[in-house]
Amino acid sequence: MYKLIIADDESIFRVGLGKMVREVSDQWDIVGEARNGYEALELVSEHSPDLVITDIRMPQMDGIGLQYVLKEKYPNVMVIVLSGYDEFSFARDSLRLGARDYLTKPVTREDLSKALLQAAEEIRIAQQSKETESREDLQVKQLMRQHFLEAMVAGRLHEEEHPMLQKLGIACKDEDLICMIVSLDRESIEDERYFQKDPALFLLYIKQFLQEMLDQSGEGLAFVDGTSQVTAVVHASTFAKTPDFLQQFGSLFRKQIKGMSHLTVTVGIGGIARSLDEVPRSYKEAEMALLYRLVQGGDRVIEYNEVAASSSEKELLPLEWKSIEMGLYEGKEQHTREEVNRFVTELCSQANSPAFIIQECCKMLLHFYELAVGLPHLEEWAKENDIKHILAELSEITDRKELAIFCADWVGNLAASMGSRKKQTHHDPVQIVVDYITECYAEPLSLAAVAEKVFLNPSYLSTLFKQKKGKPFIDYVTEVRIDAAKKLLLTTEDKLQAISEKTGFVNMRHFHRVFKDHTGVTPNQYRSMMHKE
């Protein structure tokens, strides 16, 4: 129901009008009656009504004076004025002040019913509009929160951005924080189930579940970090209730996830960060803790402080690659995959340190990469397999099954390519293109023009670029330009037209549309939110 206040100096009229309101509509709750404008204002302050029906002529403060104050202090309160036949000039002044309608005395049921119906509809639409704006504000806040959290854990948070943290509900500058990383155990999902759905949906589910638990037990914010894990930044005071509260919280979380969805997760927890500058260190420690899933297996909580104190090695694992080499030289892809899978599985079961496991897998891939580039007919294969990128990818894996699949796929593909490729003879063309984009993003950049600089066919460069960078050429260029625009919006007072030109966008309209598509907010909204205190 909508709330209504009636203001009239005649008691009999107030009572009669109230009765008539109840008879013609069940949408209104009469929360107060006033004899003059002053009493009406007191009731408005107390009840926050949606509508005031007021007479024009009242003692002390009349209806016109009441509307002046309402317009100034309570602009969202709707007003309907009552006037006599000889008071049209007052009614006209009321309409100028924003009155929704005016009714002449004596009021008829038909006129009152029509006025109340129209007022209710306008109030409903206004409330829906406010709810929509509120939802949009929430979406903008969530996008900004994600941006700041990612920057915080990566150590990219600028000093001038610190005042925004508390506003976004992330953390205070002097709070002790802990980073927690949750990673889905890939082996807990059948391949058919995993690939039938968007893998990102699993992470979104984990993130929402984790956030709900953090909301219940303490203060913390979770966000999807990249494509393989969920990260939470948590107030350390939340975990200070008992000495083993970290383990209790993480164990409860993974058990509930497992019980409700049959998914298993591993939780890595870093040490306490005493300042914002130390948050990246806590994040790296959580990543290191998660690496120990390779040694200990998944479906568990692993604290960095515990594993760092017990990393003595028994690293005497024999390295037998002859069977893998035989499969490579003979081009037996399936045999090669099986042998690599066996090697990685045994390595994980026998080693004590995740660092040792990653080290030995990197050694294996480097060995076979050097073997491949030493063969003249594998030039094309080597060009498509940037070993630095491959080793970087391998170093991020913390799941046994994923590690075995990754290595078996890579070496297996090499076995399938034996005899059909040529030797790599020049520098990585994709890196050359990336460097060129970084330096010249403000200039017009086309795939054809850039392909000429690295002496490649545009179609082939497009395929190679997407394979190595994980995204099309134009998307990468756009992201570089958007990042540059963000910095200018944050650190300068340049107008949007100037920023658009400095970052290589065709025109202002194009800049505005692309920026909003990528960030969820307009350039002006981004700048405004970043500079709010």
Same fold, 2-129 and 171-308: no
Which of 3.30.1490.190, 3.20.20.80, 3.40.50.2300, 3.20.20.140 is the CATH number of 2-129?
A: 3.40.50.2300
- Where residue 297 falls (left for φ over 0; alpha for ψ -120 to 50; beta otherwise) is left
Task: Report yes or no: 388 and 175 within 8 Å, Cβ to Cβ.
Answer: no
Q: What is the pLDDT of residue 421?
A: 42
Is the CATH code 1.10.10.60 the one for domain 429-531? yes
Q: Check: CB of residue 99 under 8 Å from CB of residue 79.
A: yes
pTM: predicted TM-score of the whole model, two decimal places: 0.44
Rg, Å, the chain Cα set: 33
For residues 300 and 302, what is the distance between their CA atoms, to the nearest angstrom? 6
In the chain, where the domains are located: 2-129, 171-308, 322-417, 429-531
Output DSSP code: residue 377.
Answer: G
Per-residue pLDDT for the chain (533 aa), expressed as one digit of tens each?
899 999 999 999 999 999 999 999 999 999 999 999 889 999 999 999 999 999 988 887 888 888 878 887 888 899 998 887 555 555 555 666 667 778 888 889 988 998 899 889 888 888 876 665 555 566 667 777 888 888 888 888 777 777 777 777 776 555 688 899 999 888 777 777 666 666 677 787 888 888 888 887 667 888 888 667 899 988 877 655 555 777 888 889 889 888 877 888 999 999 888 888 888 889 988 888 887 787 777 899 998 888 766 654 444 334 567 778 777 766 788 888 999 999 999 888 888 788 888 888 888 887 787 777 655 556 566 667 777 788 778 888 888 888 999 999 988 888 887 645 433 334 577 888 998 999 999 998 988 888 877 766 677 678 888 888 889 999 999 999 999 999 999 888 899 999 999 999 988 889 999 999 888 899 998 888 877 65
pLDDT value for 314: 42
DSSP class of residue 477? H
CATH class of 171-308: alpha beta
The residues with which 224 forms a beta bridge, in sequence order, are: 230
Q: Encode burial over 397-423: b for 16+ CB neighbours within 10 A, e otherwise.
A: bbbbbbbbbbbbebbbebbbbbeebeb
